[in-house]
Amino acid sequence: MTRKQKKALARIIISAAALAVCLLAENMFALPAWSEFVIFLIPYLIIGYDILIKAFKGILSGQVFDENFLMAVATVGAMALGEYMEAAAVMLFYQTGELFQSCAVGRSRQNISALMDIRPDYANIEKDGTLVQADPDDVEIGSEIVVKPGEKIPIDGIIVSGATTLNTAALTGESLPRDVGEGDEAQSGCINMTGLIKIKTTKKFGESTASKILELVENSSEKKSKSENFISKFARYYTPAVCISAFALAALVPLAMLVTGNQPEWGKWIMRALTFLVISCPCALVISIPLTFFAGIGGAGAAGILIKGSNYIETMAKTKYVVFDKTGTMTKGVFEVAGIHHNPIDDAKLLEYAALAESGSTHPIAKSICKECPNVDKSRVSDIHETAGFGVSAVIDGKQTAAGNEKLMKKLGVEYKPCHSAGTVVHIAIDGEYAGHILVADTVKPEAANALDSLKKAGIKKTVMLTGDGERTAKAVAEKIGADEVYSSLLPDGKVEITEKLLAAKKNGETLVFVGDGLNDAPVLSLADVGIAMGALGSDAAIEAADVVLMDDNPLKIAKAIKIARKCMRIVYQNIVFAIGVKLICLALGAAGIANMWAAIFADVGVMVIAVLNSIRALKTK
Amino acid sequence: MKKSYKIEVDCANCANKMEIAANKTEGVKSAAVNFMALKMNVEFEDGYEPKAVMGEILKRCRKVEPDCEIFF
C-alpha cells in the first residue's frame, strides 16, 4: 500500500468506529434531534471532508457531474432530510470502494510491469580501471559497456569480448537460452546468465530493443478501441441523464401529485432522487474496460506478443482468415540439406566430397552444404573450377569430382537420377561415375503444422499461403502444414493483389490477418486488417510496419495472439453488460423505492470491484 | 518534440480529466495520459519550452484534479 492508501485506510477505520459509537449512543439514549446531527457529523466529516472540498472546487471551476459532486449532493441531501446515519454510511462505503479500487489497480499495475520487467536501470562503464554505473541514457553510440552475469543488457550492441548464454525470456516469452560470443549481436532486455561480456553499443538507449518494446506497450492505450470510445461516450451522457431523472423524481413527481390533488410526499421522493445520484457514477465501466485491455496487452507482452493498441485486440478477436507468407513464417527461411539420395557410397562420405568441392563457393546452396559438413581439410582439394549456372568441378584426393545441377551432369555425360522432392538438387559425380545427389531445401518449422491446426480449432475459416517460390515447392509445403489455399510464384505486388481480393471477398465484421516476417511484405502488413510481423527480435522495420509483433519466430504464437484477443474481448463485454445491467436494475428499484441508498452504494462499489477483478483475468490466457 | 512524464493520479476518470486539461494548454500539440502506466506523453508545438509548458499543464490539471502530480 502507498502512503495515500494507508491514510485512507486509517480514515475509514476511525470513521467506522466513530459511526458505531454514534449508533450505540442513538439507541441507548434519547437524544434531541440537533445533537444527533452533531454527533453523526463527526464520522461524516472524517470520511468525507476531501470529497466535499473537491466538489466545491469542482463547482467553482465548472466541473459539475463528477463523482465528487454527486456524492456530495447525495449525502448533504440525506443530512438535510435527517438521514444522518445513511449519509455517513454511504460516504464510508464510497471511500472503502475507492480504496479497494486503488489497491486492485495498483496490484495489477505491478503484475503487468513485473511481466514486462525488461527496463534496464544502469549500464556499467569502465572508467580508470573501475566499473562505474552510468545512466543508460547518457551512453553514446560506440561506447563499450560491461555486462556481468545476472545483469540485464541495457543497450543493443555487438559483443567485443567474452562469451555467455543469454536468457531471452523477457523478450520472447520462450525460455530458450541463446549462446553468444565475440562478434554476435546482443539485444537489450536479455539477461546475461553465465559469463562477463563487453559490448560495443550500436544504438542509443532510447532506440534499443528494450526501450522500443516498453514504449510500444506503454503507448498502446493511445490507440483506443471502439469499446473504450463507447464507454467514454456512454459516461458522457449517462451521468447527466441520471441526474436529470433524479431532478424529475425529486421535483416533478411531487408536483404532479400536488396538481392531481394527492399528498406530494417531498421527503420520500427527494430521498429516492438522491439514491439515483449515488447510482449515477459510471466508475465500474470507466475503470474496468481500459484495465481489461491493459491487462490483455500486458499478458500478451509477457508471452512475447506485442500488440500496438487495444483497437487491434478488438479487430483480432474477430479473425476469420489468416494469410501468411511462406518463407520465414512457416519455413525457417534458410536452406538446409533435406536429403541425400541414390548414393552408392556413405551419406557422410558424399556430403564430405560435396562440401570439399563447394568449399570455395559463395553460392547460398554451396554454403548450406558446407554448413552441414564443417571443418573439412581444404588441402585435399585442388583445381577448383566454378561455372555459374552449372556447378563446381574439382580434384579431391586425386579424384575428379563434379557437383552441380542437371545441366552440369549432361555436359559431363553422366547419367543422373532426377529427384522427386521439392527443393534444389545438387548432383555429384566422382571420376565420371554418378555418386548420388543432395537435396537442399528451405525446411518447414517443426511447429508449423501444429500452428495451422490450432488456428483451425480456434475457428479460423480459411488459411492462405502466399509465396514467391515455384508451384512445386509451394504445394509441397502447403500440403505438409495443411494450408487451405496456396498462391505461388508471386512477386511482392502479386501478394498485395491477392490480399486485396481476399479482403473484398470477406464479410463485414470478419477480420483478415496477414502474417509475414516483415522483410519484403511491409505493404501487405499494412493493407491487412491486422498485420502480424514475426521473428522481429532486432528488426526495427518489422516493429514499425506491423500492428502486432511476435518477438520470436514460433508460428504457434499466431493462434495464441488470437486467443488472447478473444478472451480480452469476452471480459470487456461481460463487464459492459454486467455493469450497465446492474445499474439499470438499481435505478429501477431505486425509483420504485425498493432499493435505498445503502443498496445503491453497495451496487456501485460491488459492481466496480467485481468488474476490476474480472479484468485482471485478461492477464493470463492458456 | 515528444516527451514522456511520470504522473500520479488516483482514478481513471481523473486521468481522463487531466488529459483533456493538458490538451487545452497552449504549446501542446497533443497529450495522452495512460492511467495504467501512469504516464503522460506530451507532444509540444515548435518554439515552446517544455518545462514552461509542463508547469502550465500541471496548473491546469490541479484545477480539475487537486490530488494529481506530474514529475518533470
What is the interface pTM, i.e. ipTM, of the complex?
0.76
CB-facing half-sphere around the CA of A293: CA atoms within 13 A: 35
Are B16 and A218 in contact (CB < 8 Å)?
A: no
Chain B residues 23-62 with CB within 8 Å of chain A: 32, 34-39, 41
Q: Is B45 helix (H, G, I), strand (E, B) or coil?
A: coil
User: Identity (one letter) of the amino acid at A467?
Assistant: T
Which residues in chain A have their CB less than 8 angstroms from residue B32's CB? 219, 221-222
Catalytic residue among A135, A184, A325, A547: A325
According to CATH, the superfamily of the domain at A333-444 is Calcium-transporting ATPase, cytoplasmic domain N (3.40.1110.10)
- Distance of residue A591 Cα from the nearest chain B Cα, in angstroms: 27
Q: Would you place residue A570 in the very low, low, confident or very high pLDDT band (cuts 50, 70, 90)?
A: very high
CB atoms near residue A119 (< 10 Å): 16
User: Identity (one letter) of the amino acid at A358?
Assistant: E
Which residues in chain A have their CB less than 8 angstroms from residue B64's CB? 58, 61, 63
Domain boundaries, chain B: 2-71
Are A283 and B13 in contact (CB < 8 Å)?
A: yes
Question: Is the per-residue pLDDT at A1 higher than 80?
Answer: no
For A406-461, write each residue's pLDDT tens digit.
888 888 888 888 887 777 788 898 888 888 888 888 888 888 899 999 999 988 99
For A93-115, write each residue's pLDDT tens digit.
888 888 887 887 777 777 766 66
Q: How far apart are CA A416 and CA A421, in angstroms?
A: 15
Q: Would you place residue A562 in the very low, low, confident or very high pLDDT band (cuts 50, 70, 90)?
A: very high
Q: What residues does CATH 3.40.50.1000 cover in chain A?
A: 214-330+445-622
Which residues in chain A have their CB less than 8 angstroms from residue B41's CB? 219, 222
CATH number, span A214-330+445-622? 3.40.50.1000
Give the residue, A162 or A63, on which the prediction is more confident: A162
Residue of B nearest to A231 (CA): B13
Task: For domain B2-71, give the fold.
Answer: Alpha-Beta Plaits (3.30.70)
Q: Which of A57, A117, A225, A308 to substitute to test the interface with B, most B CBs within 10 Å? A: A57
Q: How far apart are CA A437 and CA A141, in angstroms?
A: 49
Residue of B nearest to A105 (CA): B36
Q: What is the mean pLDDT of chain A?
A: 84
Q: For residues A40, A43, A44 and A45, what is the CA-based torsion angle, rounded to 10 degrees? A: 120
Q: How far apart are CA A348 and CA B48, in angstroms?
A: 71
Residue of B nearest to A116 (CA): B37
Check whether domain A123-154+156-202 has CATH 2.70.150.10, yes or no: yes
- Arithmetic mean of pLDDT, A121-128: 85
The whole model's pTM is what? 0.78
Cα B41 → chain centroid: 7
- Arithmetic mean of pLDDT, A46-74: 82
Which residues in chain B have their CB less than 8 angstroms from residue A101's CB? 11
Question: Is the per-residue pLDDT at A17 higher than 60?
Answer: yes
User: Identity (one letter) of the amino acid at B41?
Assistant: N
pLDDT score recorded for residue A498: 92
With an 8 Å Cβ cutoff, the interface of chain A facing chain B consists of: 4, 53-54, 57-58, 61, 63, 66-67, 98, 101-102, 105, 109, 112, 217-219, 221-222, 232, 235, 283, 286-287, 290-291, 294
For A212-243, write each residue's pLDDT tens digit.
777 777 677 667 788 888 887 887 788 788 88
DSSP string computed for A391-450: EEEEEETTEEEEEE-HHHHHHHT-------SSSEEEEEEETTEEEEEEEEEEEEPTTHHH
Residue of B nearest to A97 (CA): B11
Residues A178 and A126: beta-carbon distance below 8 Å: no
Determine what percent of chain A is predicted with pLDDT higher than 70: 95
Which residues in chain A have their CB less than 8 angstroms from residue B13's CB? 66-67, 235, 283, 286-287
Residue of A nearest to B31 (CA): A222
Residues B18 and B6: beta-carbon distance below 8 Å: no
Q: Is A167 helix (H, G, I), strand (E, B) or coil?
A: strand
Of A67, A286, A294, the CB nearest to B36: A294
- Arithmetic mean of pLDDT, B40-63: 89
pLDDT score recorded for residue A499: 92
Of B13, B41, B63, the CB nearest to A67: B13
- Arithmetic mean of pLDDT, A302-307: 85
Give the residue, A323 or A308, on which the prediction is more confident: A323
Helix axes A67-80, A33-60, angle to 10 degrees: 160
End-to-end alpha carbon distance in chain B: 15
CA nearest neighbour of A80 among A271, A280, A246: A271
Question: Is the per-residue pLDDT at A484 higher than 90?
Answer: yes
Active site residue A179: no
Q: For residues A523, A526, A532 and A536, what is the CA-based torsion angle, rounded to 10 degrees? A: 60
Q: What residues does CATH 2.70.150.10 cover in chain A?
A: 123-154+156-202
